[in-house]
Every structure is written in C-alpha cells, then in structure tokens.
Amino acid sequence: MAQDSILRQARHHLRWLLVAPSLLLWWLIGQFDKTNVSLIVADPSFLAELQLEGRNAELGGLMSAFFLGYGVAVFLWGFLVDRFGPRKCLMGGTLIWSLALFWMSRGTDLQELLLARFLLGVGAGNMWPVSNALTNRWFPVGEHSRAQTFWLTGAPLGTALGIPVVSFLMLAQGWRGMLLDLAFLSLLPIVSFTLIADHPRRQKKISAREVEHIETSHRQSAATHRMHFRELFHASSFWLLTFCFLVSVLTTYTMIQWLPRFLITQRGLSFRDMTLWITLGYLLATGVMLLLGYLADRTMQRALTASGACLALVLLLLPGAFWLPPIGSALVLGMLISVPVIIAALNGALLHTLVQPEAVARGTGIYTGIGNLFAALGPFAFGVSINLLDGQYWGGFLFLAVLNALGAASYYALHRKTPRAKQPSSIPVGL
C-alpha cells in the first residue's frame, strides 16, 4: 500500500520526475560539447599540431565560432519550435551537433575546426527555444524560475563534470579521441525525449490532477495582459530583457572558455590542480543557482533578484581573480559562473510573463539570437585584450565587471517598469 501511494504521488509530479531531469541531462551533455574547446586550447599537443601556440586571437576566434553559429541559427529554431514542436526540434538539433563533433575529431587545420565549431553552434541553437517552450507548457507559472534554474544548472554542473571527464578522455585518448567519444554521448538525450510529449495533456500515464494543476495556473496567468509576438518589437521591456541576456551569455562563455588558461598561465596552477579546484567552484555555483531560483519564485521578484546577482559579480570578480591565493581564485571564479547562468534562467521566467504562450519559442529565439550574435565577440575580444596588455588578463575581467554593472542597472529598470506577478493563491507552489 505504501508503495502504491508513492507511485500515485509520483504521477502527480511527472514534470519534475521526467521533463525536468531530461532537460537537465540534455544541458549537461550540451555543456560538455560547448566547453571542451576551453581544455583543447590549453592542450600543448593540440597547439603544437595546429601551430597555434601564442596565437591568442585565433584561439579566441575558435571559441567564438560556436557563438556565431548559435546566434544565427537560434532565430530560425524559435520559429521551427513554434511550428513543429520542441521535441522534434530537440532531436534534429542534437543530431547536428553530434555530427559536428565527429567532424572536429577529424579536422586537420584551423579553418576546418572553425567551420565545425560553427556547425556545432547551429545545432545547439535549438536549446533555448526548446527548453523555454517545454518549461512554459509543462510547469505552473509559480514554478517557472525553479524549473528554468533546474535545467540551467546543467551549465555550471556540466562544466564541473565536463572538466574532469573531458580531461580524462584527453589524457587517455588525445583531443581527437575525446571529441569522438562526445559525438556518441551526445545522442543519449534523444532516447529520454522519445518518452515526453510536447504538451502535458498529450502525455501518456500522466495524472488528470497534474494536468489540471498546470492548466489552471496558465489560465489564471492569462488573465493578465501578455503581448503577441509582433508587439515585442515595440516593447522596451523586451529589449531590456534582450540586453540582459547578452550580459548573461557573454559573461558565461567568456569566463568558461578563458578561466582554465588564466588559472594555469597567470595563477600558476597545474592542469590537474586547476581541474580539481575549478570543478569545486562550479559545484558551488550550482548550489547558489538553485537557492536564487527558489528565492525568485517565492518572492516573485525575478528582475530584482537578477539585478542583485549582477551587482555581486561586479564586487567580487576582480578581487576574486587577483587578490586571493590561486586555489581561492579558482573557487571564487568558478562559483561566480552562477551569476550569468541564473540571470539567464530568470530571463526565461520573465519572458513567460511578457508574451503569449504560442510565441514563447519565437520570442526566445529573438532575444537569445541577438544575445549570442554579439556574445560571439566576447571570447575573441578577451583574447585580443590579453595581447594588447602584454599577456595580462585584468583588462578582460574589468570589461566583464563593467558589463555586469550595466546588467544590474538594466534589471533594476525592468523591475521598476513591469508589474510584479503574484503567486495565485489557489495553486500550491511547492513541488
């Protein structure tokens, strides 16, 4: 009887037992695929084979090629998700990035790797529209920050797990063997999403209670005005959200791509020690993200929460990079990855309150596409700044601090500009 009760209770939370973990797995593996280049460019055998030692601008371009492909493709993916549904688009994009990794494992020169990284970005461009659409369809409004935060922990957690996993594979098989392994691993999420429908009402073995819980929340939220797709282009709140996403993605991937090299070349950590301590920092970031996501849902002050997170990064970034012992720098800088990732999660929850449900994927495609196109300049510009400052990194970190100060101000303006949603009293907010 107790077991039957547990099973019945589990059916009332299928969104948390199936949908959220599947999205988390997808983002974990996607993060392996996005960030492996940060370790590749620190690998002496790779640098020697492709004659890239000391060519920081070219290495930054290799990092940025992904974001160019991502930024171009995400516009199209937003329309495709609204037209064909998130599940089909997830499977198609995942196949593309698996093929791109296979191509990279066979690459023989920098130009070929640049094209493969661009294709990887094209395939991964579906991640935001797919994830945001599924979150909007499958989760009650009062759970959107937590749901977005849950699967977006795949970014720091995927990096935390990816660094030791990718490092092990590189040490065992070289950078080419590592990429080949990741190409096959990337196909794994397709299996879990064969079990998930685009809408909870179409899901097999879901309880009527859970469907009603989700749909009641959406009906109550629909009572407030939300914009149609065309209205977004005239809404200052949407463009503030777009700039805030630019801050998020530029900060996230610039830090993820350059931190391993910074800790090795500037702070004197060995490759093995860097891997250990920055991994612990990313694990701390995961805990910070989950806490902030919970607080944002409980208070329904999502823009204000994001503003405070950006301000914390501004205050801690430069001291964390240069004033602490090397181990302390690795921990603090790894933990600060939580800030741009949590504000990206809160952006998704804020968008759900601005736009009609049928336009969520397209709206996501617009703001993430613009953000990623401009963010493609981040890793490249960081590399250029290193050359201009004779190998010093302080200019790049100062740029990220100023950018997040602008992000804090933008979120505060968004907080003042938009009405704060209230938790519907008739709907429970717990899991």
Using one digit for the tens of pLDDT, what is the confidence trace for 78-99?
888 888 888 899 999 999 989 9
pTM higher than 0.85 for the full model? no
Q: Which residues of 226-235 are buried (b: 16+ CB within 10 A; e: fewer)?
A: bbebeebeee
Whether the per-residue pLDDT at 302 is higher than 70: the answer is yes
Looking up tokens 């849950």, which residue turns up? 150
Amino acid identity, position 274? M
CA distance 371 to 373: 6
The secondary element (H helix, E strand) that includes residue 379 is helix 377-388
- Nearest Cα neighbor of 287 from 167, 157, 384 is 157
- Nearest Cα neighbor of 279 from 117, 170, 166 is 166
255-281 pLDDT tens trace = 877 788 788 888 878 777 877 887 788
- Nearest Cα neighbor of 411 from 244, 291, 234 is 244
Query: 10 Å Cβ neighbour count for 261?
Result: 19
Whether the per-residue pLDDT at 38 is higher than 80: the answer is no
CA distance 166 to 274: 13
Q: Please say whether the beta carbons of 102 and 393 come within 8 A.
A: no
What Cα–Cα distance (Å) separates residue 300 from each residue in 44, 224, 357, 424? 48, 15, 19, 11
- What backbone phi and psi angles, to 5 degrees, belong to 255? -65, -45
Indicate the domain borders of the chain: 13-198+234-417
Strand boundaries in 284-380, DSSP class E: none
- What backbone phi and psi angles, to 5 degrees, belong to 227? -75, 150
**How large a percentage of the chain has pLDDT more than 90?**
3
Q: Please say whether the beta carbons of 264 and 270 come within 8 A.
A: yes
CA distance 390 to 421: 50
356-373 pLDDT tens trace = 666 667 777 777 777 777
Query: 10 Å Cβ neighbour count for 314?
Result: 18
Average pLDDT for the chain: 78
177-230 pLDDT tens trace = 888 888 898 898 888 888 888 888 888 878 888 878 877 776 665 545 566 767
Identify any residues that bridge with 355 across adjacent strands, giving them in sequence order.
227
DSSP string, 220-234: HHHTS--B-GGGGGG
Query: 10 Å Cβ neighbour count for 315?
Result: 12
pLDDT of residue 226: 65
pLDDT of residue 426: 36
What Cα–Cα distance (Å) separates residue 279 from each residue in 30, 110, 147, 256, 424? 17, 29, 23, 11, 39
Identify any residues that bridge with 227 across adjacent strands, giving them in sequence order.
355
Q: Which two tokens stand for residue 289?
A: 């993200």
CA distance 407 to 167: 33
Q: Please say whether the beta carbons of 15 and 215 come within 8 A.
A: no
Whether the per-residue pLDDT at 1 is higher than 50: the answer is no
Task: Give the SS3 label for residue 419.
Answer: coil
User: pLDDT band for position 376 (50/70/90)?
Assistant: low
Helix, strand, coil % in the chain, rounded to nearest 5: 85, 0, 15
pLDDT of residue 224: 55
Q: Please say whether the beta carbons of 316 and 336 come within 8 A.
A: yes
CA distance 62 to 379: 9
Q: Please say whether the beta carbons of 217 and 424 come within 8 A.
A: yes
Whether the per-residue pLDDT at 62 is higher than 80: the answer is no
Q: Which two tokens stand for residue 120?
A: 């990887």
Question: Which runs of consecutive H residues, i.e. helices, occur in 127-207?
Answer: 127-138, 144-152, 154-185, 188-193
Rounded to an integer, the average pLDDT of 13-33 is: 85
Q: Which two tokens stand for residue 399?
A: 């740029």
Class of 13-198+234-417 in CATH: mainly alpha
pLDDT of residue 405: 93
Q: Which two tokens stand for residue 179?
A: 């990429």
Looking up tokens 């994009």, which residue turns up? 93
pLDDT of residue 95: 92
Helix axes 110-124, 56-84, angle to 10 degrees: 30
Phi-psi region of 205 (alpha: psi -120 to 50; beta: other; left: phi over 0): left
